[in-house]
Amino acid sequence: MRLLIQRVAHASVTVEGSAVGRIDRGYLILLGVTQGDDHATADRLCDKLVKLRLFPNDDGKFDRSVLDIAGGVLVVSQFTLYGNPKKGNRPSFTDAAPPDLAEPLCAYVVEALKQRGVVDVQAGVFGADMQVELLNDGPVTLMLDSDTL
């Protein structure tokens, strides 16, 4: 599982011209699921995510978590995080989990973040053609990968 985390001043996701998720200050999470991921994988990454200190304190140092600032999280599924462009010019997506595994795990991540105290958790629509808008704050972008945690 991969979480591409972007600290945002605000972010939204639109499907067919309608906003389906919108947050103010917090994280935009692009979420990729791979073969073999499960609830334990999601729990480990969610535990890490809510404790990450990527928001500045009064001295400008990264010292506050999304929980500390009562921030939101917008979760957008993105199988392309497992795209492999090694051969040729068209990436292979064989490392991405099939929808019957990925969709319930994406929904599980949303619920797991709520259970960990995130005040505003929003999500895109799994498998939809989505347009994501964000104002990256910093910019601050970080990748969490279950293979390296």
pLDDT at 27: 98
Q: Quick one: residue 68, left, alpha or beta (phi over 0 = left, psi -120 to 50 = alpha)?
A: alpha
pLDDT at position 33 is: 98
Given 80, 94, 141, 148, the catalytic residue:
80
Query: pTM of the predicted model, to two decimals?
Result: 0.96
Nearest alpha carbon to residue 107 among 18, 52, 17, 46: 46
Please list, in sequence order, all residues whose beta carbon lies within 8 angstroms of the beta carbon of residue 113, skipping any fewer than 6 positions away: 46, 49, 50, 73, 75, 121
Quote the pLDDT of residue 146. 95
Q: What is the pLDDT of residue 149?
A: 85
| 80 is a catalytic site residue | yes
**DSSP three-state, residue 89:** coil
